[in-house]
Structure 1
Amino acid sequence: MCYALKGEEKTMPLKPKYSREEIIDAAFSLAREKDMSAISARAVGKRLNVSSSPIFTVFECMEQLRAEVWKRAVAFFDERIQQACAAHPETSFITIGAETIRFAINEPNLFRILFVRQRPAPKHGNIIMTDSKAAAMATQAITNTYRIDGESAKKIYDRVWIYTFGTAIMSMTGMLSLNDEQIYDNLSRQYEANYLLIKKSS
């Protein structure tokens, strides 16, 4: 449900001066540079060099626009993951983790929006990395690499994701500083260690 916020009251419908995509682009750039909380009709209008009124010729309320920004952020992250996996399909399970950590370092505000702050309802997008197309691809790669069953591969991936998320958070906040080689090496060791644990218990 949409609620008009103070200072963001709707006016009579006008012919849109900017397209839906242009408004989303402006709002996304604000979120990328600052945070989702930076998105307001006034701030988006200022970025487009217009008043806040044109925003409401396209969106009924700011909640709708923020939902679109969320989806844009999900798509932006997913594209990064897919491109990285396409370049290294045989080690996609390591690539996903490495790219997630790099994303936290290079895009801290978007990472915070996707993984740290309270998420919108599931209908706005699914970014759970242990339940996604990327996770399925990684699990299959683990199965092929270590010659284990799918259930064991999924268990390994889920365990390493906890390490990945923790490393990403510490990297985002500046508590940890790793270069690409260290990121890849640490993830490789995590997978190897968890594989040996699975093998030992079987």
Structure 2
Amino acid sequence: MPRSFMFTKEEIVAAAVQLTREKGIDAVSARSLGEKLGASSRPIFSYFKSMDEVKEAIAESATEIYNGYIETEIKSGRYSSYKANCMAYIRFAKEEKELFKMLFLTDTSSEDVSDDSDENEIEEVKPLVKILQKQLNFSRENAELFFSETWVTVHGIAAMLATNDLDWTDSYILNVLNDVFTGIKYGIENRS
């Protein structure tokens, strides 16, 4: 007779995500997750080979949550597509601080960075660059430049919100983004 498990894989991932939200990814261990589940760590390893696999599942779930933020902002119709992506990123950082830190503020300097990771990053940016090309009537090169220069501000605001260095309202953030976007657009359009 097959063994029945007390928890499903989805319940374990949900508990791991909640633990990450509460204490950060570094607090997720077999012991702490078992405690969160009110059980030993045995059920965890019925579904996962290692805690690294659990953390990969947490990252996948966090990415789905983040993508939900993007979808919500775009569907709201309050902003242009690009600005909706920016505001979603910032709102995710503000409301899901630990998940944001795990996805976007992890030190990767000791990781083996291959050409594939650079290619993946470019693939992730392509849709935003295409939006900017259409929205601003920019060449691909100018849209990439606009993205690079504006994203520094977007990421900076998000990182400072996630680490409690800022406590700006959405309207103030929007004013800052409008000023930065206008200035960068003007600079690109008027380069000699």
TM-score category (smaller protein): 0.7 to 0.9
How far, CA to CA, are the matches of 2:33 and 2:137 in structure 1?
Answer: 52
Q: Out of 60, 74, 90, which is 1:85 matched to?
A: 74
Q: Where does 1:48-197 land on structure 2 (aligned, <5 Å)?
A: 48-88=37-77, 91-118=80-107, 131=122, 133=124, 135-197=125-187
Q: Any idea what the Cα deviations from partners look like across 1:146-202, whole Å, max 9, x if unmatched?
A: 222222112101110011111112222232221111111211221111111111115
SS of 2:180's equivalent in the other structure is helix
Shift in alpha-carbon separation, 1:60–1:121, aligned structure 2, 3 A: farther
Q: In the alignment, is the contact (CA less than 8 A) between 1:92 and 1:137 conserved in 2?
A: no
How far, CA to CA, are the matches of 1:99 and 1:46 in structure 2?
Answer: 33
* Greater Cα shift, 147-156 or 159-168: 147-156
1:132 deviates by 5.2
How far, CA to CA, are the matches of 1:121 and 1:70 in structure 2?
Answer: 19
Is 1:200 matched with 2:190?
Answer: yes
Is 1:27 matched with 2:27?
Answer: no
How far, CA to CA, are the matches of 2:63 and 2:38 in structure 1?
Answer: 27
1:35 deviates by 0.7
Q: Hey, which bits of structure 1, 4+ residues long, moved more than 6 A?
A: none
SS of 2:190's equivalent in the other structure is helix
Q: In the alignment, is the contact (CA less than 8 A) between 2:23 and 2:98 conserved in 1?
A: yes
1:114 deviates by 0.9
Shift in alpha-carbon separation, 1:174–1:129, aligned structure 2, 3 A: farther
Shift in alpha-carbon separation, 1:121–1:52, aligned structure 2, 3 A: farther
Q: Could you tell me the percent identity over the aligned residues?
A: 26
State how many pairs are aligned.
185
Q: In the alignment, is the contact (CA less than 8 A) between 1:40 and 1:62 conserved in 2?
A: yes
Letter of the 1:117 counterpart: T
Letter of the 1:31 counterpart: T
- Unaligned stretches of 5+ in structure 2? none
Q: In the alignment, is the contact (CA less than 8 A) between 1:90 and 1:141 conserved in 2?
A: no
Task: Give the structure-2-normalised TM-score.
Answer: 0.84
- Unaligned stretches of 5+ in structure 1? 1-12
Q: Any idea what the Cα deviations from partners look like across 1:103-161, whole Å, max 9, x if unmatched?
A: 22211111111111235889xxx8x996455x444333322332222221121011100
